[in-house]
Structure 1
Amino acid sequence: MHLFNRSFWIGTGILFFLTVQLYAQSTVVSGVVRDGRLREPLPYVTVTFQGTTVSTKTDASGRYSISSDKAQSALVYKYVGYRTHTTVIQSGQTQTMNVILEEIAEKLTEVKIVAAKAGPYRNKENPAVELIRNVIAHRPENRIENFNQVAFKQYERLQLSYSNLSDEFMKKKLFKNYQFLFSQQDSDKIGGKNQLPVYLQEKLSNNYYRKSPEKNKKIIYADKHVNYDPNVIDNDGISVYLERMYADINIYDNNILIATTQFLSPIANSAPTFYKYFITDTIKTQSPELIELSFIPRNPQDLVFEGRMYVTNDKHYAVQSVFLKTSRSANLNFVRAAELKQSFIQDSTLKYHLGKSDLVVDFGLTKNKGRGLTGQRTLIISDYQLNKAEPDSIYKGENQVTQLQKGSNNEQYWAQNRPDTVPASTLAIYKNIDSLGKSKSFKTAMTVAGVIFAGYINFGKFEVGPTYTFYSFSPIEGLKLRLGGRTTTDFSTRYYFDGYAAYGFKDQKWKGYMSGAYAFNNKSIYTFPQSFIRASFQRDLYIPGQELRSNSEDDFISSFKRGENNRYLYNDFYRIQYVQEFQNHFGFDLGFRKWSQSPAGALSYYNIVNNQTNIIDQITTSEFNVSMRYAPNEKFYQGKRSRVIVNNKYPIYNLRYAVGIKGLLGGQYNYQNIMASVDKRFYLSQLGIADVKFEAGYVGGGKVPYPLLAIHKANQTYAYQIYAFNMMNFLEFVSDHYAAVYADHTFSGFFLNKIPLLKSLKLREYVSFKAIYGGVRAENNPANDPQLMQFNKNSAGVPTTYTFDKLPYMEGSVGIGNIFKILRLDGVRRFNYLDHPNAPKYGVRIKLKIEL
């Protein structure tokens, strides 16, 4: 470690020497710009070398730094509502210039006092509301989408830090040799004084928009970011997830998404219903004249902002700058504070377009105190080109592609091309994290984190897990112990092996899974885009109707189930599959499977032959199948063996077709099975978010026993499942043709926020409705043919498996979420088919749901 420290200081000395040499002939000015009356720092003041286009803006703490290799004599400071200030500087020197700006805003010429006490706020005859209605009416002409084609350059910086750290925390033994990791800022800034930067990413891109046919295209030509151990953390996934948390914000949209939460824009169509507006200043020294418009929520718990904006007082009513922040009383979890500052620049047509955007969000378990996590995303947009025709080739392919320029990964490239002045302490994150990653203590911490969050224990060329499947139980198996693992890319980037072994102590049977795969694209078969061929064999116990998965994962929590839970299947499952995904998020899975299933527990397979019960020990099918999935604009975080989808407004389409062949490798039936579904999320502004799924299926091509029909997905656990029927029993309904709808809606506290006392709890309302209807055609109905496999019955001889009558099966629920910030509790009601054995009418289900 002493060697590391010595090397670190030698390197720092060399870097300092080079820096001095670089700027020996340069003019470098830094300082702080403050308000002349309150002496508070002024953010986003434009600082320019006089007579040039070289400029920068102060950060959220009023600090700035600007440099030039050419002779300079003065700096000009400009800020809306303040007098332009010019300061003489020394050319060719490094110097500090702290500046005070004086306000020049004029008060309104007419003030009316109608009573000693102000009356209630009203929209009618309110000049501030009339102004905002004009802004709303002119939104279409001020949107960038108003142009036929737009091109611009964009620089984006995303930084993540552990924040609000105490001095005692920094002095912990763990950080004894890593004090260089910490950074400091103003204590009144979001995130507090002491911070531990953990992630930094910078991107440069060319961006294009075409109105008809509408298309956005982003070409990233430089990308620099922190890299962690890929065996533990999906670095690309971090970037995707953070970009979703800190998404692009267009003030002209009706709704603004911050940290996955939807806020109503202050210039949305319905904004006057949820905001109060006040004209607080006029600025006549600008051309056009600007009006300062302040706004606050009518109801502080609603998902709206407070802040101010400057609007041009002309026929365009364009937004020149805006400052938004979340209310401390807003129904948010873990978000302690969020601020958005945007400034707009004029183009050659005098239209205003976004020039800079700065979003800061601070997360924490507690509202005011304690450590947290602070993220900041900064965008600088320049070189607008309007209505310039671009070749069609620009818009082909994915909406976002990466085409890195040569040398874009070195520091010199970024020093020359970064359009913003970034503090050296911020840029040090790149080297600091790289140094930290080489330390044994950090590697140990990352290994522990991998076990906790990913469920795998890494041993280099292979890893053991998932840990949460080591222990489970069921009525058939009793105690079930399982141990599994798989190879990693350290073993091979072409060949992958996966498997587990399990033993049930009650049924005294071994289960297991083994697979081998070959990756055509020479990368992990679990990461996007997948391209591999795999062969596998699995022997395990399943509940009929539950999804058969090659990576079946038992777990302790799902072992607890309500009602009768004694009908299972032993399965032998042979499969070969070819999986291919494309960059446009279309993918297919083409394969063959042989499936042998045997009933277990209270489940029995039988038919009637010559008026005698004929027990069927096993049925076997052999089928070819293809599954296709299309998820346009899909984003996700890549887990160890599955993906965490980052929800957005775009639909997801699924289609599966299978054909069974009698006589092939012991297959006993000919059939065709087709299933299609579409999932869609709807953002309904202040009324919340709705997730809707439509699904339909059809089984045909010959007589088949009911276990090969669609066994509708029931849920007998106590956990609420969105895409399952929570009051339906296992194997209760089967169909050879059906259609289903699932709808789950959260109002995000829209109603509860308005109830005294309750609103302080920040609870959230949920409603859901699910229905499914179908049937069994005459040729597949065992009531018409005793030689067909008969529906299952209980010990009293009462049927427990049915097809639908004249009505669809329906259930609904009303729930309260955000209980202790992590739980959702639903009261579920089953509306019909209540005469079935053990059919529950009411139930209570719980779901772990962590929301912001």
Structure 2
Amino acid sequence: MKRINRRVGFIVFLLIAGIVNGMAQTVVQGVVTDAVNNQPLQYVSVVFKGGRGTVTDSLGRYTLRSSGSNNTIQVTYVGYRTITKIIVPGTTQTFDVALETDPKAINNVTVSSNKRAPYRNKGNPAVELIRRVIENKPINRMEHYDYVQYDQYEKLEVSISNVTEKLTKNKLLKNYQFIFENRDTTKVEGKSLLPVYLEETLSKKYYRRKPEKTKTIITGEKRVNYGEYIDNQGVSSYLNRLIMDIDIYDNDIPLFTYQFLSPIADLAPTFYMFYIRDTITEPNGQKLIKLYFTPRNTNDLLFRGNMWITLDGNYSVTKMVMSTSKNANLNFVRELHINLDFEKSEDNRYHLSKSNVAAEAAVTRNAASGFFGERTVSFRNFQINKMLPDSVYNGDATVKLDKSDQLADTFWLSNRHDTLTKTEAKVYSNIDSLEKMPSFRRTMAIATFLLAGYTSVGPFEIGPAAAFYSFNPVEGFKLRLGGRTTTKFSKRIYFETYGAYGFKDERWKYFLSSTYSLNNKSIYAFPLNYIKVSYQHDTKIPGQELQFVTEDNFLLSFKRGQNDKWVYNSNFKLDYVHELPNHLSYTLGFKNLKQEPAGSIVYTKRENGVDVNVTKLITTEFSGELRWAPHEQFYQGKVFRIPIINKYPIITLRFIAGVKGIFNSQYNYQNVNMRFEKRAYLSQLGYSDVVVEGGYIFGKLPYPLMTIHRANQTYAYQLNSYNLMNFQEFVSDHFVGLNIDHHFNGLFFNRVPLLKKLKLREVVAMKLLYGGVRAENKPANDPTLIRYPLLNGEPTTFSLEDKPYLEGSVGVTNIFKLIRVDLVKRFNYLDHPYVTPLGVRVRFRFDF
């Protein structure tokens, strides 16, 4: 059971499926097979005679619904005899069909060579057809209408597939047999599914073209709850980010953390091959073309499957069935299937009515067990061009009705678009019972300590464990112990503290903070709204900026080169943080900081013709920060919120004013800083993470108070630092920087015969920094300013002059599905002491 619960937060898998017509009174369902070998037949046409129809899925299954008085269904398939069946209107019935081959079809003999004719786009009718579909995309999209509104139901389920008997009979899990008994063996042929996660959402959707605006009103939401040890909202956000709503009319389809090229993208004829398979005439006279598509390179992030296209001049897609190739450059995915159904609107165009995405993943392709994800989305009451008042679209893009997550079961029984299976319905009560079991809580507490480094003792958490022990040249062997209160102590007031001792410098370090939540919610979960006061006395490396780890982390104790530039900080801070529901946030702050040099750093300046040592720098700052991160989502860990990266930008604007004379502050200055970051998706070329930032400091001040650029002397590759820059090597009072980290997702390796089997991926990066120090702030021009430090008579701190600092790297990711290795090259300022012009850096990253 421990394995099950530890995996729940990492599960990536989902599915989109639903029902077409909730008002249906006649329901016919069944399986179509070959009469000779009993194998299921896919894409068989099953229709109400004179009415609507469908085709079978990969398992030969079909479901037909109608609110009319249809009493005949017809089953047709190329090469087989047509079957007609009389049914009883207004009932639900099962009709399994075994199709026999048509003698007329098998008597036609085709002689061909073993060699396939070379594929060409030019003169290919299938390519000409897909180009017509591409040309008509604008009129087949929702954005073609002035107004659109519909009801939407989503269901997301994650299951463990094929749970082994060895696991179920484990003596340690004897108390959890009620979980293992709730298995579904009917949903997917040959698989036993044990549901471990389920969530449902009901919402009303509105779209307006001019001025363009979308609005989502969530009327109901329900999900399993694993309790305090798992960020349930974060798990939901992560799973829904892995596969968002699929729009085949977009050029790219988001799946997992990648963008798959749509088979009707503008560039589809370049990357796909197309073949016309059949011409179909529906009972209502609608003519369709069945078009098969497949990747030119099976390792690329592309699909293979069939689509059905109208020949009425709109070239609409009425159905699409597709899957990824087993050779696609994905790590853990064994199967991925997507079914999209469309229905005709009142203007004879087609809109999505049902969508189904099913995926199975495992650590290895041959593993006995894995994870099966299914997300269903269905649409009802689709209305077009019905004008609504502006009040409908005003306010936030997404609104949740009050108590939408506290609705009774009767609400769901009458409003969900589909009925839960007995197995699905039992997941809620099973997980609720599981979460209340003391043995489960103990297991999760141990797992949390091992993974996050915190363990709970009543209303207090002790940790993080990775910071209990570290070492460095200044403090030597360093022990640290700390913790914080949780919501069990109070939802309003939070305390955090630690104490540490360095055995070389024989000095105590400590931290204490108190936080008051203004919205009576956790201060670690969105949206933040709190006031925090803190005091910290500890060491710091100037220019070291870390993400998702603490500075005392044991692994960061190992550094390259000269690691002797340190300061002792005594830092008092008062902060007010407020995040708004639209992901605009602001922070107001006050800080009084005392810096004492340590290690090889000595603060020296000249006064009255004599060199003097400055033992302490004191500053008092007032600050304000404005941050905008539209549609931002997180997984909330114990220490950090880990962002779930999307296509939207993040913009941060910060202003700091140092004021002389307040609490012994020694300097007046103003610091303005702006940062822009965005992931840019480039379809089959991969994606780039782009960061642009710049800053300017007004006023006269010594170099320790300027911008000390982020450096990295560890052996880990750090995305936001300059990986071959030494600590405190460069300072600036004005600068601009550009970082580009581009992932090709195997674009080149997928075409190398031996490498493509390893599923390696290419990455290139470039980091550029341009800036400088104004003449008034250069120690060489003013001896009263603190000099740049020297080591063995050589300067170790510099300002950027006429040329920018530049480093680049080429790397390989997805080594053993986890490791990224970069060869990093520094291109200039190579005459500085202790510089490494070339280095290898490693980063661990979990990718799909």
TM-score (norm 1): 0.90
432-441 or 304-313, larger mean C-alpha shift: 432-441
Contact 1:207 1:218 survives alignment (8 Å): yes
- The match for 1:163 is 161
Flag the 1:105–1:827 CA change in 2: closer, same or farther, 3 A. Answer: farther
Superposed, 1:87-98 pairs within 5 Å as 87-88=86-87, 97-98=95-96
Flag the 1:548–1:446 CA change in 2: closer, same or farther, 3 A. Answer: closer
- The match for 1:250 is 247
Contact 1:66 1:421 survives alignment (8 Å): no
Query: In the TM superposition, what is the alpha-carbon distance from 1:272 to its structure 2 partner?
Result: 1.2
Contact 1:166 1:194 survives alignment (8 Å): no
User: Secondary structure of 2:127's match?
Assistant: helix
Contact 1:49 1:72 survives alignment (8 Å): no
- The match for 1:367 is 365
Contact 1:469 1:554 survives alignment (8 Å): yes
Query: In the TM superposition, what is the alpha-carbon distance from 1:98 to its structure 2 partner?
Result: 3.9
Query: In the TM superposition, what is the alpha-carbon distance from 1:148 to its structure 2 partner?
Result: 1.6
CA distance in 2, matches of 1:102, 1:663: 95
Flag the 1:31–1:136 CA change in 2: closer, same or farther, 3 A. Answer: closer
Query: In the TM superposition, what is the alpha-carbon distance from 1:370 to its structure 2 partner?
Result: 2.8
User: Secondary structure of 1:498's match?
Assistant: strand
Query: In the TM superposition, what is the alpha-carbon distance from 1:124 to its structure 2 partner?
Result: 1.6
User: Secondary structure of 1:169's match?
Assistant: helix
CA distance in 1, matches of 2:135, 2:103: 27
CA distance in 2, matches of 1:587, 1:104: 68
2:256 to 256, 259, 262: 259
1:703 to 684, 700, 703: 700
1:843 to 839, 844, 847: 839
- The match for 2:750 is 753
Contact 2:342 2:353 survives alignment (8 Å): yes
- The match for 2:273 is 276
- The match for 1:766 is 763
- The match for 1:713 is 710
Flag the 1:56–1:635 CA change in 2: closer, same or farther, 3 A. Answer: farther
- The match for 2:218 is 220
| Residue type of the alignment partner of 1:848 | F
- The match for 2:819 is 823
- The match for 1:376 is 374
CA distance in 2, matches of 1:226, 1:80: 43
User: Secondary structure of 2:426's match?
Assistant: helix
243-252 or 285-294, larger mean C-alpha shift: 285-294
Flag the 1:103–1:597 CA change in 2: closer, same or farther, 3 A. Answer: farther
Are residues 1:388 and 2:395 paired? no
CA distance in 1, matches of 2:110, 2:98: 33
1:777 to 771, 774, 778: 774
Which protein, 1 or 2, shows the higher relative CO under an 8 Å CA cutoff with sep ≥ 6?
A: 2
| Residue type of the alignment partner of 1:752 | F
Contact 1:732 1:800 survives alignment (8 Å): yes
User: Secondary structure of 1:133's match?
Assistant: helix
- The match for 2:447 is 449
Contact 1:203 1:220 survives alignment (8 Å): yes
User: Secondary structure of 2:203's match?
Assistant: strand
Contact 2:413 2:419 survives alignment (8 Å): no
Query: In the TM superposition, what is the alpha-carbon distance from 1:812 to its structure 2 partner?
Result: 0.3
Query: In the TM superposition, what is the alpha-carbon distance from 1:106 to its structure 2 partner?
Result: 12
Query: In the TM superposition, what is the alpha-carbon distance from 1:774 to its structure 2 partner?
Result: 0.9
- The match for 1:3 is none
Contact 1:56 1:420 survives alignment (8 Å): no
Contact 1:104 1:283 survives alignment (8 Å): no
The one-character-per-residue Cα deviations of 1:600-637 (angstroms, maximum 9, x if unpaired) are 01111110223322100110001111111100111221
The one-character-per-residue Cα deviations of 1:254-287 (angstroms, maximum 9, x if unpaired) are 1111111221111111111111111112212353
Superposed, 1:393-412 pairs within 5 Å as 393-403=391-401, 409-412=407-410
CA distance in 1, matches of 2:753, 2:405: 60
1:532 to 530, 533, 538: 530
Contact 2:711 2:723 survives alignment (8 Å): yes
Say how many residue pairs are matched. Answer: 820
CA distance in 2, matches of 1:205, 1:544: 50
Aligned-CA RMSD value: 3.3
Unaligned 5+ runs, structure 1:
1-25
User: Secondary structure of 2:794's match?
Assistant: coil
CA distance in 1, matches of 2:100, 2:204: 38
CA distance in 1, matches of 2:803, 2:695: 18
Contact 1:812 1:828 survives alignment (8 Å): yes
543-552 or 381-390, larger mean C-alpha shift: 543-552
- The match for 1:646 is 644
The one-character-per-residue Cα deviations of 1:125-180 (angstroms, maximum 9, x if unpaired) are 11111111111111111111111221111111000112232233222224434334
Superposed, 1:131-146 pairs within 5 Å as 131-146=129-144
Are residues 1:332 and 2:324 paired? no
Query: In the TM superposition, what is the alpha-carbon distance from 1:57 to its structure 2 partner?
Result: 10
Contact 1:47 1:75 survives alignment (8 Å): no
CA distance in 2, matches of 1:558, 1:664: 36
Query: In the TM superposition, what is the alpha-carbon distance from 1:100 to its structure 2 partner?
Result: 5.1
- The match for 1:13 is none
Query: In the TM superposition, what is the alpha-carbon distance from 1:729 to its structure 2 partner?
Result: 0.6
Query: In the TM superposition, what is the alpha-carbon distance from 1:471 to its structure 2 partner?
Result: 1.6
1:734 to 721, 726, 731: 731
- The match for 1:788 is 785
Query: In the TM superposition, what is the alpha-carbon distance from 1:87 to its structure 2 partner?
Result: 4.8
Flag the 1:107–1:536 CA change in 2: closer, same or farther, 3 A. Answer: farther
1:124 to 113, 122, 125: 122
User: Secondary structure of 1:176's match?
Assistant: helix
User: Secondary structure of 1:468's match?
Assistant: helix
Query: In the TM superposition, what is the alpha-carbon distance from 1:472 to its structure 2 partner?
Result: 1.4
Are residues 1:799 and 2:795 paired? yes
2:424 to 391, 401, 426: 426
Contact 1:232 1:454 survives alignment (8 Å): no
Flag the 1:418–1:102 CA change in 2: closer, same or farther, 3 A. Answer: farther
Query: In the TM superposition, what is the alpha-carbon distance from 1:74 to its structure 2 partner?
Result: 6.1
User: Secondary structure of 2:535's match?
Assistant: strand
CA distance in 2, matches of 1:557, 1:78: 65
The one-character-per-residue Cα deviations of 1:683-724 (angstroms, maximum 9, x if unpaired) are 001110100000000111x31111001111111111001111
- The match for 1:20 is none
1:350 to 344, 348, 351: 348
Superposed, 1:513-592 pairs within 5 Å as 513-547=511-545, 552-592=550-590
Contact 2:544 2:712 survives alignment (8 Å): no
Query: In the TM superposition, what is the alpha-carbon distance from 1:392 to its structure 2 partner?
Result: 1.7
The one-character-per-residue Cα deviations of 1:37-89 (angstroms, maximum 9, x if unpaired) are 56445789999999999x99988756689999x99996858899896855545
- The match for 2:237 is 240
Flag the 1:426–1:177 CA change in 2: closer, same or farther, 3 A. Answer: same
Contact 1:657 1:675 survives alignment (8 Å): yes
User: Secondary structure of 1:715's match?
Assistant: coil
TM-score (norm 2): 0.91
2:828 to 828, 832, 837: 832
The one-character-per-residue Cα deviations of 1:462-490 (angstroms, maximum 9, x if unpaired) are 11112222121111111211111111111
| Residue type of the alignment partner of 1:822 | L
